Amino acid sequence: MQAELAAAEPVRARSGFARGADAALDALGVLLLGCEVLVLFAGIVARSVFVHPLIWSSDLAELVFVWLTMVGAAIAVRDDRHMRMTAFVKALPEAWQARLRAAADVIQLVTVLAMIRPSLAFLDIERLSSLTDLGISSAWEAASLVAGFLIIAIYLVRDLFAHHGSAFWRGALGTAVLVGLAWLAGRGLAAYALPEVIFVFAVMLFAAVLIGVPIAFAFAFCTAFYLAVTASAPLAVMASQVEQGTSSILLLAVPLFVFLGGLLSVTKLAPAMMQFLTDLIGQVKGGLFYVLIGGILLVSGISGAKTADLAAVAPVVVPEMKRQRLDEGHILSVVSCCGAMAETIPPSIVLIIIGAVTGTSISALFAAGLMPAVLLAGILALLARLWIGARGTASGPRADARQILRSFLYGLPALILPFVIRFSVIDGIATATEVATIGTVYAIVLGAVFYGGYRPAALYDCAAKTVGLAGAIMFIIAVATAMSWTLTQSGFARDITDLMLALPGGRYGFMLGSIALMILLGSILEGIPILVLFGPILFPIARNLHISDVHYGIVVVLAMGIGLFAPPVGLGYYAAGIITEIDPDKGLRPIWGYLTALVLGLLVIAFVPWGAFGAG
Give the pLDDT confidence of 106-133 residue by residue, as tens digits.
889 889 998 999 999 988 888 888 777 6
271 in the same domain as 205: no
Q: Rounded CA gap, 363 and 428, in Å?
A: 7
Domain region containing 445? 251-454+491-613
Domain count for the chain, please give it. 2
Q: Rounded CA gap, 343 and 307, in Å?
A: 11
In a domain, 527, yes or no: yes
570 in the same domain as 442: yes
Contacts of 61 (CB under 8 A, 6+ apart): 36, 39, 40, 43, 249, 252
For 26, 93, 103, 110, the CA distances from 167, given in Å and listed in that order, are 33, 11, 11, 20
- Which of 200, 230, 247 represents a domain boundary (last residue)? 247
Contacts of 564 (CB under 8 A, 6+ apart): 306, 339, 340, 522, 523, 526, 527, 570, 571, 572, 573
- Which of 247, 270, 290 represents a domain boundary (last residue)? 247
Amino acid, res. 119 = S
In a domain, 472, yes or no: no
256 in the same domain as 241: no
In a domain, 220, yes or no: yes
User: Which position has the higher pLDDT, 510 or 588?
Assistant: 510
Q: What percent of the chain has pLDDT over 90?
A: 14
Amino acid, res. 527 = G
541 in the same domain as 436: yes
Q: Rounded CA gap, 200 and 413, in Å?
A: 52
Q: Rounded CA gap, 321 and 594, in Å?
A: 18
Q: Rounded CA gap, 462 and 260, in Å?
A: 9
Amino acid, res. 403 = Q
101 in the same domain as 35: yes
- What are the φ and ψ backbone dihedral angles of 608, each rounded to 5 degrees? -125, 75
Nearest to 606 by CA among 483, 516, 504: 516
Number of C-beta neighbours around residue 170 at 10 A: 14
Contacts of 116 (CB under 8 A, 6+ apart): 146, 149, 150, 153
In a domain, 47, yes or no: yes
> Could you please report the per-residue DSSP string of 344-373?
GSSS-HHHHHHHHHH---HHHHHHHHHHHH
267 in the same domain as 243: no
In a domain, 473, yes or no: no
pLDDT (0 to 100) of residue 558: 92
182 in the same domain as 311: no
Contacts of 198 (CB under 8 A, 6+ apart): none
Cα first-last separation, the chain? 54
Contact call for residues 103 and 227 (beta carbons, < 8 A): no
User: Which position has the higher pLDDT, 75 or 395?
Assistant: 75
209 in the same domain as 262: no
pLDDT (0 to 100) of residue 30: 95
The DSSP output letter for 532 is H
322 in the same domain as 176: no
For the stretch 302-357, pLDDT in tens is: 655 666 677 777 777 888 788 777 788 888 888 888 888 888 888 777 888 888 88
The DSSP output letter for 130 is E
Contact call for residues 295 and 418 (beta carbons, < 8 A): no
The DSSP output letter for 202 is I
In a domain, 211, yes or no: yes
Q: Is 45's pLDDT higher than 50?
A: yes
In a domain, 482, yes or no: no
The DSSP output letter for 23 is H
Amino acid, res. 228 = A
346 in the same domain as 264: yes
204 in the same domain as 73: yes
- What are the φ and ψ backbone dihedral angles of 399, each rounded to 5 degrees? -120, 135
Nearest to 476 by CA among 518, 521, 528: 528
For 62, 308, 461, 465, the CA distances from 30, given in Å and listed in that order, are 16, 19, 9, 9
Nearest to 237 by CA among 145, 356, 368: 145
- Which of 214, 247, 280 represents a domain boundary (last residue)? 247
Where does the pLDDT of residue 596 fall: very low under 50, low under 70, confident under 90, or very high at 90 and above?
A: very high
Flag the least confident range among 4-8, 208-212, 247-251.
Answer: 4-8
Contact call for residues 271 and 311 (beta carbons, < 8 A): no
228 in the same domain as 260: no
In a domain, 514, yes or no: yes
For the stretch 70-108, pLDDT in tens is: 999 999 999 888 888 777 788 888 888 888 888 888 889
